[in-house]
Chain A
Amino acid sequence: MNPPPAHDLAARQAELVAALVSGAPVPAGFDARLVGVARTALLRKRAGDVARHWPLLAAGFGPDWGATFAHWAAGRPTQGSLRDGWDLARALARKGELPAPAAEELAIREAGWRYDGASSPRPRRLPAVRRAPGGVVLQLAGRVRVLRRDGGS
């Protein structure tokens, strides 16, 4: 095979990234099995990174966290661990599949930050209240409190 011209490097790197994270076909000449191994390893690493940002979300799925995350993330390039976890938590909440501690974790984030799903979350300037399992989350001047119906906090 002839070496490609220098200006091709950008396009070829983009093709490779697309194959690894966006579900595009493996570019010609690469070992498809090994690229597949790398794709899986990337998902595993992302799952670990997201678990660090969203510990209760990950813990809610126990040993199934890796598979749960990989199922959602395959074909979706990362937007960073904070946003990936946020998007997944919202998607699970819509389907009614978000475990309770993870729902509270999400409510705390939603009360403190404004996130439009497309750009970096920003701290809210105004007070906010979000429903959480068994209570509400209240954010006032950047301080977040969880108010539980059973009286604890």
Chain B
Amino acid sequence: MTPQAYGVGIGWRPEISGFIAELPGLRFVEVVAETVPDTGPVPEGLAELAGRGVAVVPHGVKLSLGGAEPVDPERVTHLARVAELVGAPLVSEHIAFVRAGGVEAGHLLPLPRSRAAVDAVVANVARAQAELPVPIALEPIAALFDWPDDELDEAEFLTEILDRTGALLLLDVANVYANAVNRGTDPVALLDRLPLERIAYVHVAGGTEHDGIYHDTHTDPVPSPVLDLVRALCARHRPPALLLERDGHYPPADVLRAELDAIAAAGGYPAVT
């Protein structure tokens, strides 16, 4: 989607479908791929958006591309099918694993930043790419803990995966912020070491602090340091799109509109509200 700038988008969720339908300038949404049945139908509100030319990107959360086992072919087929159903320009997934030994973790878990983990991700992304009808963008996650035996730092780990897979980057600035706060590192320093020209789009989300640890919840307001990071990123290389992820505790419409406007202002994109 690199040639086209979509501006500010929002993660489509059934609970805010009505709100999203009324955003006049909207040109880009994301849908959680696993919530769309692969035989269709596409949820009504989403089909309507696609019909009026809004780009819809299926965002997978359960492929487990970082799992040591080969990615489940049925899950890849599902993602490919959803991409076709919504006419997606690309799909996205995470650099993470969500199950191991037949047990579901229930969320995205971090990988060791090791060469073995890079090999596992690269092999699984290649398996997915062989079947997907469109490019895939890979998203680094927010990690609440690290593995004890990292061989690579974050930038080396991500760059190696992107180089070897040819995949695009879905950079989540809230994840960059969360990891930097929790590890005591500088988020802007990480931006300076990532291949920003490979960014397909950017996630922006809210979070909150519990017991001195920042949690990327998607159910709280976007804090101002995350917006600062959007500014810092766009000053270096403005990505084609900035997408707000909100997954629950939905605020009143005017609060959500203000949040979209703040992201647009931080990125220098026109308001979509």
Interface residues of B in 44-100 (CB under 8 A from A): 67-69, 97, 99-100
- Binary interface encoding of chain A residues 10-28 relative to chain B, with 1 for a CB under 8 A from any of its CBs, else 0: 1111101110111000001
- Shortest distance from the beta carbon of A113 to any chain B beta carbon, whole Å: 16
Residue numbers in A under 8 Å from B238 (CB-CB): none
Q: Are A13 and B97 in contact (CB under 8 A)?
A: yes
Q: Are B149 and A4 in contact (CB under 8 A)?
A: yes
A41 to B145, CA, bound (A): 12
Interface residue from A11, A14, A18, A31 paired with B145 (Cβ < 8 Å)? A31
- Known: A9-B120, A37-B211. Is A21-B103 also a contact (CB below 8 A)? yes
Quick one: closest B residue to A4, CB to CB? Answer: B149
Residue numbers in B under 8 Å from A77 (CB-CB): 103-106
* A-B Cβ contacts below 8 A, count: 98
- Binary interface encoding of chain B residues 88-129 relative to chain A, with 1 for a CB under 8 A from any of its CBs, else 0: 000000000101110111110100101111011000000000
B144 within 8 A of A: yes
- Shortest distance from the beta carbon of A57 to any chain B beta carbon, whole Å: 16
- Binary interface encoding of chain A residues 32-48 relative to chain B, with 1 for a CB under 8 A from any of its CBs, else 0: 00110110011001101
- Known: A10-B68, A13-B67. Is A37-B213 also a contact (CB below 8 A)? yes
Q: Are B103 and A35 in contact (CB under 8 A)?
A: no
Tally of contact residues, A, Cβ under 8 A? 37
- Of A6, A9, A35, A42, most buried by chain B (CB within 10 Å of CB) is A9
Interface residue from B99, B117, B146 paired with A17 (Cβ < 8 Å)? B99
- Of A13, A16, A21, most buried by chain B (CB within 10 Å of CB) is A13
- Shortest distance from the beta carbon of A9 to any chain B beta carbon, whole Å: 4
Q: Are B148 and A35 in contact (CB under 8 A)?
A: no
- Shortest distance from the beta carbon of A56 to any chain B beta carbon, whole Å: 16
- Binary interface encoding of chain B residues 242-264 relative to chain A, with 1 for a CB under 8 A from any of its CBs, else 0: 00000110000000000000000
Quick one: closest B residue to A10, CB to CB? Answer: B68
Tally of contact residues, B, Cβ under 8 A? 34
Q: Are A30 and B215 in contact (CB under 8 A)?
A: no
A46 to B109, CA, bound (A): 14
Q: Are A30 and B248 in contact (CB under 8 A)?
A: no
A45 to B215, CA, bound (A): 11
Q: Are B215 and A42 in contact (CB under 8 A)?
A: no
Interface residues of B in 176-223 (CB under 8 A from A): 210-211, 213, 215, 219
- Known: A3-B151, A30-B145. Is A18-B119 also a contact (CB below 8 A)? no
A118 within 8 A of B: no
A83 to B59, CA, bound (A): 23
A20 to B26, CA, bound (A): 39
Q: Are A42 and B117 in contact (CB under 8 A)?
A: no
The chain A residues found within 8 Å of chain B, CB to CB, are 1, 3-6, 8-14, 16-18, 20-22, 28-31, 34-35, 37-38, 41-42, 45-46, 48-49, 52, 77-80
The 8 closest A-B pairs by CB, nearest first: A29-B148, A14-B101, A10-B68, A13-B100, A34-B145, A6-B116, A9-B68, A38-B144
Q: List 12 other contacts, CB 8 Å, given A6-B116, A46-B106.
A: A1-B148, A4-B114, A5-B116, A9-B112, A10-B100, A12-B112, A13-B97, A13-B109, A14-B100, A28-B148, A34-B213, A38-B144
The chain B residues found within 8 Å of chain A, CB to CB, are 67-69, 97, 99-101, 103-107, 109, 112, 114-117, 119-120, 144-149, 151, 210-211, 213, 215, 219, 247-248
**7 A-B pairs whose Cβ atoms sit less than 8 Å apart in the complex:** A3-B149, A6-B115, A17-B99, A17-B109, A21-B104, A31-B146, A37-B145
